[in-house]
Every structure is written in structure tokens, then in C-alpha cells.
Amino acid sequence: MSQPEKAYSISVENLTKKFDDFVAVDKITFNVKKGEIFGFLGANGAGKTTAMRMLIGVLEPTSGKGEVAGFDIFKNSRKLKKHIGYMSQKFSLYDDLTAKENMRFFGGIYGLTNKEIRNRTKELLTHFGMEHIEKERVSSLPLGWKQKLAFCTALMHKPDVVFLDEPTSGVDPSIRRQFWEMIYETAEGGVTVLVTTHNMDEAEYCHRISMMVAGKMITVDTPQNLKDKYKLETMGEVFLHLARGYEKEHAITAS
Amino acid sequence: MRIIRFIIVKEFIQIFRNPLLVLIILSQPFIQVLLLGTAGGDINYASVYVVDEDLSSTSREIISKMEGSDFFDIRGAALTMDEAYKVMEYKNINLIVHFPPNFEKKLIKEHSSKVQLVTNAIDAITASLTYAYSSEIIGAVNKDVAIKWGSKSLSNKASTVSIPYSYWYNRALISQYIMVPAMCVAMVVMITILLSGMNIVKEKEIGTMEQLNVTPMRKTHFIMGKIIPVWIINIVLLAIGLILSSLVFHVPVVGSLWLVFFLSGVVMFLLLAVGVLISVISNTQQQAMFFTFFIIMIFVIFGDFITPIDNMPSWGKAMADLNPQAYYSRMIHLVITKGSGIKDILPDLLKVSGLTFATLAVSLWIFNKKD
């Protein structure tokens, strides 16, 4: 089993995070292949964000094993950070800088040379059809464009894995569509994408999804397989079915 | 190092994109040094009321001597002390000079007589100055009287050893020579702590800190990139402040100007470290703002600015040992007013550096732990 593991961009085994007595993430185990779009589904407070924060090296796990882009999340969190990109739930670029200045700043932080920054900025903005906002202050951009820009910025240093924490919340459907096209194009280029969402339409776009309830990962499969398995029409129904089922079962064992 | 440069450039762009902030910062030397430097004037005037129940040549001589001095302004005379007290109460008179009946007669017959001086101690400093100056005038009259009447006992009292005053390092006792450099110090302390105190916490509040935490950037680099722009801004502000103090108030810099900038640069790092600590402890800009005001108040009160540290109880002196402003104003006065060299301020500089490293280490520790 040790040999094929190398093919995975993310491999996690029994990863756990406890805050005092509260178990936020309970022994989750999963693997994500290179170039795969992997969805993290779950209700608010299910532990998605906590799990993601451990994978991006900002939160130390309590126990378990984890490797992202070939780096141990316990030992090599700084090296690991060089090889991943992250886009947070809360918009987090500088409002008072222009699009280009933001990309330049983050490129610089990742240690890119001036030439690399110039080329990469141009490449990304052209590729995603955003050249015209280059000199615009971020504060003047509509939310959807801000999110697209944040995604470009997360790709500046050519990361192996990108983590997107609810990237399309509050964005209108047409921009959401464009955003997912960006995600597909990125994944086709060999970048692994891990995306959290509680939007079930978006779940359909993922290659594979995992579902978290109360800190536990209750299932990992492709959206089609899940729908077939439970004979349901949409991912939303699957989600409700699984979440309710789990909670019922859990309530019985607890009482 | 390259990373620090990117942060510095970003910081400067952000500051200059905020015209109101730039205006407020740049107006500081003008407001603090020009306005407050002028407002903190010397005490050079006391209003006097006279109650002369003697109406003799000696009492008139004393009154006319007072009239002759620039310091005293004789506002009027009253017939009784009660009347004079009322005037002091309602018209804010600084001094009542009271000659009792038979003042001169006693002086000639008994070789001793009494004048009553009532000072208004609502303003303690003016009161003590008024008292000192009027005693000086009466003393001079004593001498004249002794010579005039050849009184033995009086001539004994009119000692032959006189005490001429000379105030070293500020011979003319021009308060601006002390006030203006002190205002420069207060300005630098305030702006440095305020700007750096709001700096990091702002990134936490707008959410960019979370993004930065995911990058391989080291916290030390981040802090350096954050404080260097504030340092540069304050060096510029200090330069403007010193130019104003020289052009407008003609405050001489007796020591080396380079040393003034060097010691300021060193102290600024301590102030920045304090700002970083505030920024790291706080979660919101509002918290940081309150923290900053609280700290600046303490720094100013225990900073050799309002009360001299030498007059403080031992706990106050101990607090002054931790106070950047106390070190800063002491060193600035030594170099600007007294002309001290680096040797004289070296112990203070070393203590400041020690405090800087300690504060930065604590901030970094908290920063790494919390975020």
C-alpha cells in the first residue's frame, strides 16, 4: 500500500482535532488524486473548515496522519505552504490595492522573482479573461470578480493543491458557472482542487465528494455513485438522507 | 529580505491611498510643535492688589519697586483685607500685599516690621514664583533701609553675600527650549505607537491575516515589513518637527543633530515594538485603539513630561524604567539642550535596546501562539 500512496496529492489517515472535550474532526481518512476536484460537504459546523485548516498547515492536528503535496502536515507545515494555494471563506485581498498590486504582493510573499510575477500575472489574467480589471482597485469590483481575482491570486505561485473554502457563497449563478469553469481548467492542468461547500448543486460538479456530519466523514464517493446507491435524484436529497440517517443513529446510540 | 521589501511597498501604497490619513500624519508636527509649543508659555506675569494701611514712604517704595518690575501688574488698592480677599476670589488676583498700620514706625523703632503676602495658590507654580519674586523685592528694600538708617541689626540681616542666579543649559529660562523638544518627543511617541498599534490588527480584522498565515511568510518578516514604514514616516515627522523648532522657536541643538536622529531611531524601534504588542494582543482595531490611548497616557504621565521623575515615589521611578518616553525625553534634552555626547546616553540606549528585544520577543511569541 505504501507505493501507490505517492500518487495521491492529499492522503489523510485518522486525522483528529479536539478542542478541549469537543471533537471537531473525528478520525477522518481519505485520499485525493492529482488533478482531482474533491468536494468537502457538510452543514455549518460539521468540521469542514477545521479539517481544511489542518491540511493547509495553520492548525495543528491532535492526532492522525496527513500528507499534502508530499509534505507531512505535522513536520513540514512551512514547506507545505509553498506548494498549496488557499482561498478563504471571507474575502481576503487588499481592497485598497489594484488587482495587479494584490497579485504582485502575494507573488512576492511566495518568493517569486519580479519577472515571474509579471509573466504569471499576465498569464492568469489573460487566461481567465480578466485583463481589463488589472488596474482597478479591488474595492470597486463586484463580489463575483473579487472571488475570481482571489482564485487567480491563490494560483500565482503554481501550487500543486488549491484549497477553496466556500468560494462561491454570495455569488450570482452566472459568475458561479464561470468560477467552476476556472476550477475545471485549473484541475485539467494537473492541480488538485479541494473545495468546501454546502451548496448541493456545486457538489454535482465535483469528481468525488466526502460528506461530514458532526466531525465524522460519513461517506466518500462520486456524486453519481451516491445518487445511484440511495436511488435519489439530486445531491441535495442524498445529503439530507445521509445527514438525517446519521443523526438518528447517533441519537439512539447516545441515549 | 525580499519578502520584507514587498510588504514595505504594499504598506506605503496603502498609506498613500488614504489621503485623510496622510493629511493627519503630516499635520502632526505643525499642530503639536507649533501650536502646543507656543501655548506652553512662560509664567511672566502676576496681578497684584495692595492694601496699604501704613501709607508711609517705605511702603510706597516697595509698591513702586513692584510697579517697576515687568513681572508684577498692580491692579488696584483696597482699604481693608476683607475687600482684597473678595477681589482675589472674584477677579483672580495672584497676590495681595498688605502693609499693616505703623509698618514704617516699627521698622525704625524696633528694627523689624512685617509685610503680609497672600498668594493665590490655585495655580501653585505661579504662586511660588510670585512669592519668590516679591520676597526678592522686599529683601532689596531691606538693604536700602539698613543703609539709610544705619541700623545695625538690619545691616546684619542684609547679608553681604549675595546669591546671583544662573540657570545652566538654559540661561534665559526660555520655556520653549524645553517645551518644543518635549513636544517632538510626545508627537513621535504618539504617532509611532498609534500607527503600529493599528497595523497588524487591521489585517486580522479585514481577514487578510488568515490569507497571509497560509503563505510561507515568516511572522518576523511580516512584523519587520510592518514597522519599517512607520519608522521611516516618524523619522520624517521628527525632521519636520526639528526644522520648525529651529525656524520658529530658534531652539538651539547644542549636541550633534546626527545623534538626535540616531537615538530617536533607536527609541522608535521600542515604540514600534510596543505598538506590535498591542496589535498582537488585540483582536479588533477598536480594542487596539483603547489600548493605545491607555498606554500613551501612562507613558506621558510617567514620562518626565508633566512631573519630573526624580520627584516620584520609588514605584513611579520603577515604572519610568520601563517607559520609552522617559528614556526618550531624557536623552533628547541631554543632547539638544545640554549637548551630551553618545557616551552620556549610552546606558539609556542599551536599556532601550534591551527593552525592544524583550517586547518584540513577547509579541512574536503571542503572535505565533494566537494566530
Report the C-alpha gap between B323 and A222 in whole angstroms. Answer: 63
Q: Which residue of B has its CA nearest to A79?
A: B216
Which among A82, A94, A104 has CB closest to B216?
A82
**A105-157 pLDDT, tens per residue?**
999 999 999 999 999 999 999 988 888 998 999 999 988 889 899 999 999 99
Report the C-alpha gap between A142 and A107 in whole angstroms. Answer: 23
Q: State residue A5's pLDDT score.
A: 44
Buried/exposed A40-63: b ≥16 CB within 10 Å, e otherwise:
bbbeeebbbbbbbbbbbbebebee
Q: Which residue of A has its CA nearest to B202?
A: A94
Instruction: State the ipTM, two decimals.
Output: 0.86
Report the C-alpha gap between B150 and B254 in whole angstroms. Answer: 49
Substitution target in A53, A76, A87, A92 with the highest count of B β-carbons within 10 Å is A92
Angle at B44 between CA B42 and CA B45, to 5 degrees: 135
Q: Which residue of A has its CA nearest to B214?
A: A81
Q: Does residue B342 sit in helix, strand or coil?
A: helix
What is the largest distance, in Å, between two alpha-carbon atoms of chain B?
95
Report the C-alpha gap between B318 and A142 in whole angstroms. Answer: 55
Q: Which residue of B has its CA nearest to A162?
A: B214
Report the C-alpha gap between A36 and A184 in whole angstroms. Answer: 9
Q: Does B18 touch chain A (CB under 8 A)?
A: yes
* CB atoms A105 and B5 under 8 Å: no
A64-68, A206-210, B24-28, B176-180: lowest mean pLDDT where?
A: B176-180
For residue B5, the chain A residues in CB contact (below 8 A) are 108
Domains of chain B: which residue ranges? 2-40+174-370, 46-158
For residue A93, the chain B residues in CB contact (below 8 A) are 208, 211
Residues 169-228 of A with CB under 8 A from B: none
Closest CA to A52 of A168, A153, A194: A194
Buried/exposed B28-63: b ≥16 CB within 10 Å, e otherwise:
bbeebbbeebeeeeeeeebbbbbbbebebebbebbb
Report the C-alpha gap between A198 and A241 in whole angstroms. Answer: 15
Q: Does A77 touch chain B (CB under 8 A)?
A: no
pTM for the complete prediction? Answer: 0.81
Substitution target in B205, B208, B370 with the highest count of A β-carbons within 10 Å is B208
Residues 194-223 of B with CB under 8 A from A: 206-208, 210-217
Written as nine digits, the cell of A122 is 499576465
Substitution target in A49, A76, A109 with the highest count of B β-carbons within 10 Å is A109
Tens digits of pLDDT across chain B (371 residues): 789 999 999 999 999 999 999 999 999 999 888 887 777 666 678 889 999 998 888 888 889 988 888 888 888 888 888 988 888 888 878 899 999 998 888 888 877 888 899 988 887 778 888 888 888 888 888 777 777 766 555 445 545 666 677 777 776 667 778 888 888 999 999 999 999 999 899 999 988 998 999 999 999 999 999 999 999 999 999 999 999 999 988 888 898 999 999 999 999 999 999 999 999 999 999 999 999 999 998 898 888 776 778 888 888 888 888 999 999 999 998 999 888 999 999 999 999 999 999 999 999 999 988 66
For domain B46-158, the CATH superfamily is: abc type-2 transporter like domain (3.40.1710.10)
